[in-house]
Amino acid sequence: MAIKSILLTLTSYPEPTPVSVVEDAVCVAATLGAHLAAVSCEVHVELPGNLLSGSIGNISGIIAGEAEKSRKSARDLLAAFDAAAGKAGVPHETITEKCPTVDVPEVLVDYARLHDLTIVPVPESYDQWYAESVIFESGRPTLILPETPRARAFELNTVVVAWDFSRAATRAISDALPVLERAKKVRVLTVGNEKTFDTKHSAEELAKNLARHGIDVVLDKVDADGRQIASVLEAYVVAHKADVLVMGAYGHARWREFILGGATQSLLSKPPLPILLSH
C-alpha cells in the first residue's frame, strides 16, 4: 500500500523544532508523493496546587509567559512549514491544538492513527517522550528525524533494513515497502552472534519475497563481536552512507522495557539518520 498521508509533529515547548526538520519532512513527502499535515500544540504548563499557593512570586505571570512562548513557537513553525511545503508544491495542511503539556503525547497519537506515516523529530537536549508515545501507541509506522542539521537533504539512495526474524522487524518491512520500492539500493543486515535466530527462515528467503515487489537487495551479515546491537547498526549505516534505517521497535515505552540490547532506546537517544520504526 502506498504512503499517501503523512503527519509531521512539531514541538513548540520547551524548545521549538528546528526549521531544518520542516524542510526534511517536506522533502520526504515530495519523495513519496504524499499529502503532508503538520500539527503543533500550543501548550500551557500545569503546576501542582501546593506550588501555586507557595511563596514563589508572580507564578501566574511565569506560566502565562511560558504559554506565550509556546504559542509563538507553534505559529512560527507552522508558518515556516506552510511556506516550505508551498514552495515545494507538496499538498499540505496545518493543525493547531491547545492542551496542557502532559496531554501532548495523547494528542499526537490520536492524529498519528489517522495517517499512513508519522514523522517525529527527536531532540538530543531532552526526553524522547513524544516519539516513544507515537511509536508504541499509534499502531502506525513512525519516521524518526534527527533534529541535528544534516549535510544533505533527504534521499532514498541507500536504505538499510535491520533483519532479525522477529515479528517487529517483519512489521517494519511491510510498513516500509513503499520506501523500499523507491530506494535505489536496499541492504538487508543480519547481526550474528547477538541472539538466536530461527535458521529455517533465512535472509535469502526474505530477499525472494522482496524481489517479487521489484526490490533487489544486498544481503549482509555482521558479527556483533561483543558489541551492542545499536553500535553495530550505527557503524554499518555510517559505513554505507545510508539514508534511512528500517527496523522493528521493541518493548513498551511506558516502562522502557527494551530488549535486543536496548537498540530502540539507544538509537532514539541520538539517531544517526532517519529511522523508520514499527511496533
Q: Are residues 214 and 82 in the same domain?
A: no
Percentages helix, strand, coil for the chain (3-state, rounded to 5) are 40, 25, 35
How many structural domains are present in the chain? 2
Examine the pLDDT at 59 and tell me if it is beyond 90.
no
pLDDT at 261: 39
Cα three-residue angle 73-87-16, rounded to 5 degrees = 15
125 and 215 belong to one structural domain: no
In-domain check, residue 153: no
Identify the domain boundary among 87, 114, 146: 146
Considering the domain architecture, whether residues 178 and 136 belong to the same structural domain is answered as no
Residue that is last in its domain, among 118, 146, 174: 146
- What integer pLDDT is reported at residue 257 of this predicted model? 41
Q: Which three cell numbers stand for residue 174?
A: 511491510
Interval 101-120 mean pLDDT: 96
Task: Tell me the residue range of the domain where 197 lies.
Answer: 158-278
Distance from C-alpha of 187 to C-alpha of 164, rounded to nearest angstrom = 14
The answer to the question of residue 152 being in a domain is no
State the average pLDDT over residues 70-93: 98
Question: Nearest-CA neighbor of 63 among 53, 55, 52?
Answer: 52
Tell me the CATH number at 31.
3.40.50.620
Same domain, 111 and 241: no
What's the grid cell of residue 100? 496542557
Q: Which residues pair with 188 in a beta bridge?
A: 161, 219
Residue 151 inside a domain? The answer is no
What percentage of the chain exceeds 90 in pLDDT?
Answer: 65
Does 119 lie in the same domain as 51? yes
Q: What is the pLDDT of residues 221-230, one digit of tens each?
A: 999 888 888 8
> At which residue does the C-alpha cell 515530495 appear?
30
Q: Determine the number of helices (DSSP H) and then strands (DSSP E) in the chain.
A: 9, 10
Task: Give the per-residue pLDDT at 153.
Answer: 83
Helix (H, G, I), strand (E, B) or coil at 117: strand
**pLDDT score at 60:** 79
Q: Which of 146, 166, 197 is the last residue of a domain?
A: 146
- What confidence category does residue 125 fall into, taking pLDDT thresholds of 50, 70 and 90? low
Indicate whether 187 and 59 sit together in one domain. no
Confidence of residue 90 (pLDDT cuts 50, 70, 90): very high
| All three cell numbers of 125 | 537536549
What is the mean pLDDT of the segment spanning 109-115?
98
Q: What is the mean pLDDT of the chain?
A: 88
Output the pLDDT for position 119.
Answer: 98
Model-level pTM?
Answer: 0.90
